[in-house]
């Protein structure tokens, strides 16, 4: 898609979905490289020297970065265009796509419904066919939730696979960066560019980032009974239908709720520490929802936080040794409940709102606690015409395996090719 | 606890804070098996050992 075509689609879609924060071009593309001429845009939290990154917030509105994110340097070198910045949850700390400061991002399939978050604009812009791909960040599901809700493909990378230098931090033990695009093939292209060691992010590693060749048999672990008993029937059906494309082995489900609680302990403790000074000096400048999440982190005992981090290795070992003992990846829904509306999950969502948010995020946070990669793939639509997504979760640094499996699945299906109807 | 850290709670939030934070303090079956020497960096060596 050319820059001019992208601009035409922005003009058509922006009033409906509010995916862009800025449409000022940020990088012109070098004309050569694996992404030459491709129009990309990114979540408004990847810094570019001399340009604004608002981080979805009031506090950082108009803030000018002094240096450029490592991932943007790599995309620039690969020839990609950067055509603007994308909406996101305030400080990437929200799972729905609501934003009190910049306006909610709306689902291209039906703007009454949530996009998922926090990489809301990234998923919406890809789903609307505006950009080839967009970067997002994933600390508790922030790539996979919007990818699933908007019907696109999203890759949460292994913790340590992609440099976070020059990206807004939320929770350093959990933060990861990855691409959202229409297909696993397109995600693989972006992933191949951004993955790799960077001395400015000391947790990154040299592990090879190849995507395995197609045609290899993939054995996928699944907990069919758990899915039938816990997911909404329409979602369970779509997931189990999709699973038939793979060679399956049954496995006991990981303790999602326990691992999710551990993830929240880490996330809230670290996010609150990161925001401590602003929380002391200008708490009124946060939205009510984000302020409440940040307040909670200050009440978590330090010993509890450290003990949960001590347990992390044991749980990773158990997931790889038991759940993945006979399999290359584990298949589970990205979101097990019907997508809620923006009204149901917004500031006036009522007493059921916290429970609705917990249901939406139930199956993503455990992956961040383990630090493993996960690929979200569209696998159907519910009776309201809203997308359904599955996750393939792998061992550390198994992105290549997941992308190859995703590519094979998308050769056998066409869910990823479906586009929401253009606005009238 | 929050006041000692210089954090002012928004109005009406105190009653809702405790249940949410207490819900995170869950029973973990691996706690009892964890060797004394394990610390947070042990995760890195496990990730290397079990990687693809």
Residues in A closer than 8 angstroms to B35, CB to CB, are none
User: To which residue do tokens 């960077």 refer?
Assistant: A198
Contact of B50 with A320, CB cutoff 8 Å: yes
B31–A292 C-beta distance less than 8 A: no
Segments of chain B with pLDDT less than 70: none
Burial of A288 (C-beta count, 10 Å sphere; 0-12/13-18/19+): exposed
Told to judge if A223 belongs to the known catalytic residues of this protein, a careful annotator would answer no
A312–B43 C-beta distance less than 8 A: yes
Q: Which of B10, B18, B43 sits opposite A291 (nearest CB)?
A: B10
What tokens appear for A362 in the block? 């139930």
Question: How far is the C-alpha of A120 from the C-alpha of A92, rounded, in Å?
Answer: 9
Interface mutation vs chain A, best among B5, B18, B19, B24, most A CBs within 10 Å: B24
User: To which residue do tokens 């809203």 refer?
Assistant: A386
ipTM of this predicted structure: 0.95
Question: How far is the C-alpha of A185 from the C-alpha of A252, rounded, in Å?
Answer: 30
User: To which residue do tokens 């395996």 refer?
Assistant: A401
Strand, coil or helix: A179: strand
What pLDDT sits at residue A377? Answer: 98
The 10s digit of each residue's pLDDT in A267-319 is 999 999 999 999 999 999 999 999 999 999 999 999 999 999 999 999 999 99
What pLDDT sits at residue B14? Answer: 83
What pLDDT sits at residue A350? Answer: 85
> Helical H runs in A87-169?
120-127, 144-150
The 10s digit of each residue's pLDDT in A99-151 is 999 999 999 999 999 999 999 999 999 999 999 999 999 999 999 999 999 99
DSSP A18-32: --EEE-S--B---S-
Residues in A closer than 8 angstroms to B52, CB to CB, are 394-398, 400-401
Strand, coil or helix: B11: coil
The 10s digit of each residue's pLDDT in B14-24 is 888 888 899 99
- A234 φ, ψ to 5°? -65, -35
What pLDDT sits at residue A215? Answer: 56
Question: How far is the C-alpha of A246 from the C-alpha of A212, rounded, in Å?
Answer: 16
Interface mutation vs chain A, best among B10, B18, B52, most A CBs within 10 Å: B52
Question: How far is the C-alpha of A193 from the C-alpha of A188, rounded, in Å?
Answer: 9
Residues in B closer than 8 angstroms to A158, CB to CB, are 47
The 10s digit of each residue's pLDDT in A238-260 is 999 999 999 999 999 999 999 99
| Closest-CA distance of chain A to residue B15, Å | 12
Report the percent of chain A where pLDDT is more than 90.
Answer: 93
Question: How far is the C-alpha of B19 from the C-alpha of B31, rounded, in Å?
Answer: 22
Cβ-based neighbour number of residue A214 at 10 Å: 10
Residues in A closer than 8 angstroms to B45, CB to CB, are 313
Question: How far is the C-alpha of A371 from the C-alpha of A369, rounded, in Å?
Answer: 5
State yes or no: pLDDT of A176 exceeds 60: yes
What pLDDT sits at residue A84? Answer: 98
Contact of A50 with A64, CB cutoff 8 Å: yes
The 10s digit of each residue's pLDDT in A204-236 is 998 777 777 665 568 999 999 999 999 999 999
What tokens appear for A185 in the block? 């093939």
| Closest-CA distance of chain B to residue A395, Å | 6
What pLDDT sits at residue B12? Answer: 84
Residues 6+ away with beta carbon under 8 Å from A144: A138, A154, A156, A334, A364, A367, A374, A376, A389, A391
The residues that bridge with B7 in the sheet, in sequence order, are: none
What pLDDT sits at residue A31? Answer: 80
B21 touches chain A (CB under 8 A): yes
Length of chain B: 52
B20–A295 C-beta distance less than 8 A: no
What tokens appear for A254 in the block? 């990981």
pLDDT (average), residues A20-34: 92
pLDDT (average), residues A176-189: 98
pLDDT (average), residues A30-43: 93
pLDDT band at A67 (very low <50, low <70, confident <90, very high): very high
CA A162 from centre of chain: 14
Comparing A16 with A216, the larger pLDDT belongs to A16
Interface mutation vs chain B, best among A287, A308, A311, most B CBs within 10 Å: A311
Question: How far is the C-alpha of A145 from the C-alpha of A321, rounded, in Å?
Answer: 27
Chains A, B: CB contacts within 8 A come to 108
- The pTM of this model reads 0.97
A262–B40 C-beta distance less than 8 A: no
The 10s digit of each residue's pLDDT in A371-411 is 999 999 999 999 999 999 999 999 999 999 999 999 999 99
């Amino acid at each position: 898609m050319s820059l001019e075509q992208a601009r035409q689609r922005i003009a058509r879609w922006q009033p409906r979905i509010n995916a862009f924060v800025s449409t000022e071009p940020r990088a012109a593309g070098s004309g050569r490289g694996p992404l030459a001429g491709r129009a990309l845009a990114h979540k408004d939290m990847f810094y570019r020297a001399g340009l604004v990154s608002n981080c979805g917030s009031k506090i950082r509105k108009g803030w000018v970065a002094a240096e450029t994110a490592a991932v943007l340097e790599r995309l620039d070198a690969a020839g990609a265009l950067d055509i603007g910045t994308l909406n996101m949850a305030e400080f990437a700390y929200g799972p729905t796509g609501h934003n009190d400061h910049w306006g909610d991002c709306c689902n291209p399939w039906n703007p009454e419904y949530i996009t998922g978050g926090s990489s809301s604009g990234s998923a919406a812009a890809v789903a609307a066919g505006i950009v080839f791909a967009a970067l997002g960040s994933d600390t508790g599901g922030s790539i996979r939730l919007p990818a699933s809700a908007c019907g696109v493909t999203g890759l949460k990378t292994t913790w340590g696979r992609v440099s976070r230098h020059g990206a807004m931090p939320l929770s350093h033990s959990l933060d990861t960066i990855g691409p959202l695009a229409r297909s696993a093939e397109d995600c693989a292209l972006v992933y191949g560019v951004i993955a790799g060691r960077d001395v400015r992010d000391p947790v990154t590693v040299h592990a090879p980032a190849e995507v395995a060749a197609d045609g290899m048999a993939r054995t996928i672990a699944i907990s069919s009974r758990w899915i039938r008993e816990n997911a909404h029937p329409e979602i369970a059906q779509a997931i189990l239908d999709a699973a038939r494309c793979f060679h399956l082995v049954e496995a006991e489900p990981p303790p999602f709720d326990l691992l999710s609680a551990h993830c929240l302990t880490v996330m809230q403790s670290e996010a609150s520490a990161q925001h401590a000074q602003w929380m002391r000096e200008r708490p009124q400048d946060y939205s009510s929802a984000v302020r409440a999440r940040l307040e909670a982190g200050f009440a978590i005992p330090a010993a509890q936080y450290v003990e949960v981090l001590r347990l992390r290795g044991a749980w990773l070992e158990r997931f790889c040794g038991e759940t993945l003992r006979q399999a290359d990846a584990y298949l589970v829904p990205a979101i097990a409940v019907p997508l809620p509306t923006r009204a149901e999950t917004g500031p006036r969502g009522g007493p059921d709102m916290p429970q609705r948010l917990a249901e939406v995020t139930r199956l993503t946070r455990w992956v961040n606690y383990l630090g493993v990669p996960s690929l979200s793939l569209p696998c159907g639509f519910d009776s309201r015409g809203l997308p359904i997504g599955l996750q393939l979760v792998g061992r550390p640094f198994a992105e290549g395996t997941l992308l190859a499996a995703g590519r094979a699945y998308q050769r056998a299906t066409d869910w990823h090719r479906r586009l929401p109807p253009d606005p009238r | 606890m929050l006041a000692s850290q210089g954090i002012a709670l928004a109005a009406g939030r105190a009653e809702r804070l405790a249940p949410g934070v207490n819900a995170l303090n869950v029973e973990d079956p691996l706690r009892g098996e964890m060797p004394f020497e394990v610390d947070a960096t042990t995760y890195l060596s496990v990730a290397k050992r079990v990687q693809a």
